[in-house]
Amino acid sequence: MDVLSDVIAAMRIGRPASARVRRHAPWGRRYPPVPGAAFHVILQGTCWLLPPDGDPLALAPGDVVFLPGPVDHGLADTPSTPLTEPFCTPDEQGVHFGQRDEFPPDAVRGSGAPSVTLCGAYQFDLSRAHPLLNELPRIAHLPARRGRHPELRAAVDLLGGELEDSRLGSDAAVPALLDVLLLFILRAWFAEQPERGAATGWAAALGDPAIITALGCLHRDPARQWTVEELGSRAGLSRAAFARRFTALVGQPPLTYLTWWRMTTAARLLRDSDAPLSVVAQQIGYTSEFAFANAFKRQYGTAPGKYRRQGA
């Protein structure tokens, strides 16, 4: 698996939620924070995204907005339009994950200009949030640009079509398309960072052949007893040069990141499988269940068995 796919697989839980909504001005809707990430795509017309602080953001057809963490925000036809309250509280909205593929209906039948938005949310286990997402801004804006990110536009078109006209297989197609859309949004954002003069941190790491090679090694085989020297050799760098570059871009030394990734992988296995603790320990490189339990408790503050029971 590649690093970006691993990041999504490690964090995603439950089923995503989505809706295609048509509104006629005047309209304004508040979106409470969700336990994960949210997105908005403007399919038709224009509108404004209203952050909890800062200036309103004008959105045009084709624009994509991604909110990688819980952010209370609004959408409206103008910045001055009052926002209606959500149909449920943030806690109740969280409960809807895994039970529905749509937000509650939000029909606004005014007499003004129409707008069509594609909105959705992903449920993340924030206890194992990958540092890659932490480098994104609270609101990541991908303006529509002709010829840019055709795979993202194709995913938007497919998802919008399924939500507009539910057909045979839509129950399987919509969650799959939402996962694809998340991947393409992240890919597009990180691909644009060098152009914006911000190729640092994870944006630079994902574009650095040496570092992405090393990350791929760690992600593909976390159970291997890696050394910095071996990772540097795989990356085509000396031990010292590799360690400096990896730490500067990823934010952690190579073996520290390896331990973190092992614990993140273990947490996912504990929640998503019924494998015995001894098997989970072996899959991430621990020959002793006791040593694994101690390392896991240092990371998550609780024993592996209790962590599993809490997620059941």
* Low-confidence spans in the chain with pLDDT less than 70: 1, 86-110, 194-200, 312
Cβ count within 10 A of residue 101: 21
Q: Give pLDDT, residue 196.
A: 52
In contact, 29 and 76? CB cutoff 8 Å: yes
Q: Give pLDDT, residue 195.
A: 57
- On the question of a cis peptide bond just before residue 104, with omega within 30 degrees of 0, the verdict is no
Full strand arrangement of the beta sheet holding 36-44:
108-109, 17-24, 114-123, 36-44, 64-67, 140-142
DSSP category for residue 312: -
Q: Give pLDDT, residue 171.
A: 87
Residues 6+ positions from 226 with CB-CB distance below 8 Å: 217, 218, 254, 255, 258
Paired strand residues for 48: 58, 76
CATH architecture observed for domain 208-311: Orthogonal Bundle (1.10)
Q: Which two tokens stand for residue 33?
A: 């924070």
Q: Give pLDDT, residue 86.
A: 66
106-111 long-range CB contacts below 8 Å, 24 or more apart?
106/19, 106/21, 106/23, 106/29, 107/21, 107/22, 107/23, 108/23, 108/24, 108/27, 109/24, 110/23, 110/24, 110/25, 110/26, 110/27, 111/24, 111/25
C-alpha distances in angstroms, 42 versus 39, 60, 65, 205, 263? 10, 6, 9, 30, 38
Q: Give pLDDT, residue 108.
A: 53
- Considering only CA atoms, give the Rg of the chain: 21
Q: Which two tokens stand for residue 287?
A: 């020959």
C-alpha distances in angstroms, 142 versus 7, 37, 54, 137, 192? 20, 15, 18, 12, 9
pTM of the model: 0.82
What is the domain partition of the chain in residue ranges? Answer: 3-192, 208-311
Residues 6+ positions from 99 with CB-CB distance below 8 Å: 15
108-109 and 28-31 strand pairing: unpaired
Q: Give pLDDT, residue 225.
A: 95
| H helix runs in the chain, sequence order | 3-11, 90-96, 131-134, 150-164, 170-192, 201-205, 209-220, 228-235, 239-250, 254-272, 277-283, 289-300, 304-311
| CA–CA dist 22, 187 (Å, integer) | 28
| CA–CA dist 133, 272 (Å, integer) | 22
The 10s digit of each residue's pLDDT in 32-89 is: 988 889 999 999 999 999 998 889 999 999 999 999 988 999 999 999 999 987 654 4
Q: Which two tokens stand for residue 272?
A: 């998503």
Q: Give pLDDT, residue 200.
A: 67
Q: Give pLDDT, residue 16.
A: 87
Q: Which fold has domain 3-192?
A: Jelly Rolls (2.60.120)
Q: Give pLDDT, residue 90.
A: 40
Q: Give pLDDT, residue 244.
A: 95
Phi, psi (rounded to 5 degrees) for 198: -125, 35
